[in-house]
Amino acid sequence: MTEVYRLDQIEDILNQIDVVSAIEEGFVSYSQGKAVIPPVGELLFEDPPGDAHIKYGYIKDDDYYVIKIASGFYQNIDLGISPSNGVMLLFSQKTGELISILLDEGHLTNIRTAAAGAVVAKHLAPAKIEKIGVFGAGIQGQLQVKYLQSVCTCKNIKVWGVNQKELERYQQTMESEGYHVETTESAAEIADTCNLIITATPSKTPLLTKDQIRKGTHITAMGADTPEKNELDPAIIQSADIVVADSIAQCTERGEIHQSFCRNLVQKDQIIELGSVIASPSLGRSADDQITIADLTGVAVQDIQITKKVYEGLSSK
Amino acid sequence: MTEVYRLDQIEDILNQIDVVSAIEEGFVSYSQGKAVIPPVGELLFEDPPGDAHIKYGYIKDDDYYVIKIASGFYQNIDLGISPSNGVMLLFSQKTGELISILLDEGHLTNIRTAAAGAVVAKHLAPAKIEKIGVFGAGIQGQLQVKYLQSVCTCKNIKVWGVNQKELERYQQTMESEGYHVETTESAAEIADTCNLIITATPSKTPLLTKDQIRKGTHITAMGADTPEKNELDPAIIQSADIVVADSIAQCTERGEIHQSFCRNLVQKDQIIELGSVIASPSLGRSADDQITIADLTGVAVQDIQITKKVYEGLSSK
């Protein structure tokens, strides 16, 4: 009998399970070639504009396979409903039976993306984080910071944005949760004061230039997930000491690394896959003055892992 | 709020809705280029062997988009559970919201396939059907005959199979529903006595040869859905008066027509798409002595249509 869980149940269980470790294990399986992940399925809509993506696959010798659907319809905001939506389906890898449906409305996609940021920081962030710089005052800008708390104690945030109202809302929300938040419209100010920077915008033009980046800075770039989007000057990737991709295959086709790769500023053998860094931490940051970059485009293995973990938590209650 | 419907509710509503007309309309939209249908997603499993397929898409200017998952794990039979499984998801094309989940366990895939057989017979079967010949005594062999009743009144069935027990079970089930059923292990006997033939087996070697086919016969071939499977001698397609494909794009890559096409026995411009025949019935059977063949490989537009129709029926109750 298929178990169906709604968003409130899913949100409850998230406080009781270790998503970050599950995502970390998933990246290792992925980089070791143990995950079967076909190309992403895509549907595009014109009127109103929207998109739906199907990410799916399984880890060999596991019990499950997972199909995740996530959509973005940005004009939903005018209707007062969430632009993002989604559902995660967990099937038996042994019989094909549909074990569980998580009606997460896109929330677990946000969470698994934020958890990947924490995994990255664990292996690449400088030992002492002065201040966390956040580009983008949306939901991911909040979640990335919250999930970082599993790997660092810094509560000082500087958030960059172009919409004053959104910045104030971010400040208010995060301060109510115990963070100290400054807002800015100056990217240089972020680069000058923060040594852990998260970019979480849909920008199509670079927000940071190479000259702005101080030694010892780590940047997690997760906003760009298409071939067009671009948050970092491609020269930043070129000059970084360590460049990490959640998936080398995906990051050479879309996102920040893609922008450098297609300009021949970085070669494939200069990119390290996140799962390899987790399995061999010596591939991660080894000195305080290194500049490290991680590019996250989102891999189905994250969906597989979070779906399993949430289901196991809910079904054992 | 996503509405979730279980198999018993879905089976109930099927008696109250006109699936055949919905499938017929879907094929017309498809052949008129109004359906957006990306390539099928596929997952293959080795131990135990199994497969899962994702068919999805939408009809332009419609309200919905649909994602269908169907799987086959044939060793399930040893466990006493159904080898086929599945679920159909109905989303809003305007907001991306997940409107409804049909926990059909693969049943609607069987139904939409049988309904396509009825659509085909409506346009290609001879005016007077002497006897319906069925290759394959499985669930599809039953459903094809039942759905034919919406377009013809013939109750005389001759069923071919290799498993005597399965043949007897078929006979028993169908006779209890008012059919007169003979069983046979001779393909020639089917060809000699039946002028509407349905092939619904997973055979990889032809069951019928060209010389066996009498003038005036119609064959609906729906068993072969991979490049390897093959139920009809390729020469039958070559010499038929009318060759219809549910999808020309799919049928030149898999199924019966594919077997003739890759041997250069039939050209693309000799194949008529089912939606075109429905829209222009003069493309269908025009004389009693014609030999007509329809090859059904299964198109996502069928899943889109049956999901919509079942949802509309259930939600208006």
Query: What was the pLDDT predicted at B229?
Result: 85
Query: What was the pLDDT predicted at A148?
Result: 96
Contact residues on chain A for B85, CB-CB shorter than 8 A: 91, 95-98
- Consecutive 10-residue averages of pLDDT for chain B (317 residues): 96 96 98 96 95 97 97 93 95 98 96 98 96 95 96 96 93 97 96 97 92 97 84 92 95 88 92 98 95 96 98 94
Query: What was the pLDDT predicted at B223?
Result: 84
Q: How close, in Å, is residue B259 to chain A by CA atoms? A: 27
**Pick from A4, A43, A96: which is nearest to B57 by CB?**
A43
Q: What mean pLDDT comes out for the span A86-96?
A: 97
What pLDDT band is residue A255 in, cutting at 50, 70 and 90?
confident
Q: What is the pLDDT of residues A114-138, one digit of tens each?
A: 999 999 999 999 999 999 999 999 9
Q: Where are the alpha helices (DSSP H) in chain B?
A: 7-14, 19-31, 76-79, 107-124, 139-148, 164-175, 187-193, 234-239, 248-251, 255-261, 274-279, 300-315
Q: How far apart are CA B210 and CA B291, in angstroms?
A: 11
Q: What mean pLDDT comes out for the span A213-239?
A: 91
Mutate to test the interface with A, among B36, B64, B98, B107 (most CBs of A within 10 A): B98
Q: What is the pLDDT of residues B48-80, one digit of tens each?
A: 999 999 999 999 999 999 999 999 999 998 999
Query: What was the pLDDT predicted at A114?
Result: 97
Contact residues on chain B for A91, CB-CB shorter than 8 A: 52, 69, 71, 85
**Pick from B72, B84, B93: which is nearest to A45 by CB?**
B93
Q: Where are the alpha helices (DSSP H) in A230-273?
A: 234-239, 248-251, 255-261
Q: How close, in Å, is residue B59 to chain A by CA atoms? A: 11
Q: What is the pLDDT of residues A198-209, one digit of tens each?
A: 999 988 999 999
Measured CA to CA in angstroms, residue A208 lies from A11, A100, A141, A205, A285 at distances of 34, 43, 17, 9, 21
Query: DSSP secondary structure string, A36-88?
Result: E-PPPEEEEEETTEEEEEEEEEEETTSSEEEEEEEEE-TTHHHHTS-SEEEEE
Q: What is the pLDDT of residues A136-148, one digit of tens each?
A: 999 999 999 999 9
B72 and A38 within 8 Å at the Cβ level: the answer is no
Contact residues on chain B for A38, CB-CB shorter than 8 A: 41-43
Q: What is the pLDDT of residues B229-240, one digit of tens each?
A: 889 999 999 999
Please count the helices (runs of H) and the strands (runs of E) in chain B: 12, 15
pTM over 0.90: yes
Mutate to test the interface with A, among B75, B94, B108 (most CBs of A within 10 A): B94
Query: What was the pLDDT predicted at A256?
Result: 87
Contact residues on chain B for A52, CB-CB shorter than 8 A: 65, 91, 96
Q: How far apart are CA A231 and CA A233, in angstroms?
A: 7
| Chain A residue closest in CA terms to B83 | A95
Query: What was the pLDDT predicted at A202?
Result: 86
B69 and A89 within 8 Å at the Cβ level: the answer is yes
Highest-confidence segment of A221-225, A255-259, B240-244:
B240-244
Q: B48 at the A interface (CB within 8 A)?
A: yes
Query: What was the pLDDT predicted at A195?
Result: 97
In this prediction the ipTM stands at 0.91
Residue A227 scores a pLDDT above 90: no
Query: Which residues 14-33 of B are in CB contact (within 8 Å) with A?
Result: none
Contact residues on chain A for B43, CB-CB shorter than 8 A: 36, 38, 56-58, 65
Q: A40 at the B interface (CB within 8 A)?
A: no
Q: How far apart are CA B124 and CA B126, in angstroms?
A: 7
Query: What was the pLDDT predicted at A229?
Result: 85
B65 and A52 within 8 Å at the Cβ level: the answer is yes
Mutate to test the interface with B, among A37, A40, A69 (most CBs of B within 10 A): A69
Q: A45 at the B interface (CB within 8 A)?
A: yes
Radius of gyration of chain B (CA): 19
